[in-house]
Amino acid sequence: MATPNGRVFPNLAALTTAAKQFVLEQARGAIAQRGRFTIALAGGNTPKPLYESLVGADTPWLQWHVFWSDERYVPLDHPDSNAGMAFRAWLHHVPIPRNQIHPMPTADADPQTAADRYGQLLRQTFGTPEGEFPSFDLILLGMGPDGHTASLFPQTTALTVSDRLITVGNKDGQPRLTFTVPLINHARQILFLVSGANKRTALRHIFSGTGDPSLYPARLITGNALWFLDEAAAEGVVENP
């Protein structure tokens, strides 16, 4: 793995401000070039302030198309729902057309059926034939203390799925829906948002030349990725250029 492209910020507030600017710049560029902006959101605590900060942003919301890179297998109104959090923090408060916001389906009895349905939705939205991968304008990702990203957890079968857009992840016996590694790596831009001292050990393994991707799955993300880290996460791991 090449040395990741990282930027270090003093705290989560500064990271959030920079991330907001970056997201809006990506949106402007995509809309100018292709007439729309396709973004996949991350769950977790770190991106929530970013979503809240976007509520008052000056951007052509009608050209935004919103997806999720992973989801817990719970209803949209469940407090653990990634989509539910983003709706409450941001999406309920901006005029993105509802038919351009695409939460992952979690009502099917069979998670694999739901994964296949979301994959088909992506193919239809992007016009991508079977056997190819669409290219999101921007995929937001977080990272857990165990080195997982999206719902790609250490030593799970989801890490090796390469013939699907969406697969079923597993966290402590509970199913999750998740983008596959090749789908993430096909994005035009990937942005990791990582904060907190409890991420340092995983970051050392991910940023090193010899870390094991089956143990630290974020190493598998080798596409056009940029890492935004706060100082608590980056201390002793990466220097701010």
Residues 6+ apart with CB under 8 A from 76: 83, 84, 87, 103, 106
Instruction: Read off the pLDDT band of 238 (50, 70, 90).
Output: confident
**CATH for the stretch 11-134:** 3.40.50.1360
To the nearest whole number, what is the mean pLDDT of the chain? 95
Rounded to whole angstroms, what are the CA distances from 142 to 31, 112, 227?
A: 25, 23, 10
The tens digit of pLDDT for each residue in 86-123 reads 999 999 999 999 999 999 999 888 999 999 999 999 99
Reported pTM: 0.96
Residue 204's CB is within 10 A of a number of other CB atoms, namely: 15
| Percent of the chain whose predicted confidence (pLDDT) is above 90 | 90
Q: Is the pLDDT assigned to residue 1 strictly greater than 70?
A: no
Instruction: Read off the pLDDT band of 126 (50, 70, 90).
Output: very high
Instruction: Read off the pLDDT band of 239 (50, 70, 90).
Output: low
Q: What is the pLDDT of residue 240?
A: 53
Q: What is the pLDDT of residue 209?
A: 78
Q: What is the pLDDT of residue 174?
A: 92
For 155-188, give one letter per residue: b (16+ CB within 10 A) or e: ebebbebeebbbbbbebeeebbbbbbbebbbbbb
Q: How far apart are CA 181 and CA 31, in angstroms?
A: 26
Q: How far apart are CA 95 and CA 111, in angstroms?
A: 30
The tens digit of pLDDT for each residue in 38-81 reads 999 999 889 999 999 999 999 999 999 999 999 999 999 999 99
The tens digit of pLDDT for each residue in 214-224 reads 999 999 999 99
The tens digit of pLDDT for each residue in 179-214 reads 999 999 999 999 999 999 999 999 999 998 788 999
Question: HEC states along the chain?
Answer: CCCCEEEEECCHHHHHHHHHHHHHHHHHHHHHHHCCEEEEECCCCCCHHHHHHHHHCCCCHHHEEEEECEEECCCCCCCCCHHHHHHHHCHHHCCCCHHHECCCCCCCCCHHHHHHHHHHHHHHHHCCCCCCCCCCCEEEECCCCCCCECCECCCCHHHHCCCCCEEEEEECCEEEEEECHHHHHCCCCEEEEECCHHHHHHHHHHHCCCCCCCCCHHHHCCCCEEEEEEHHHHCCCCCCC
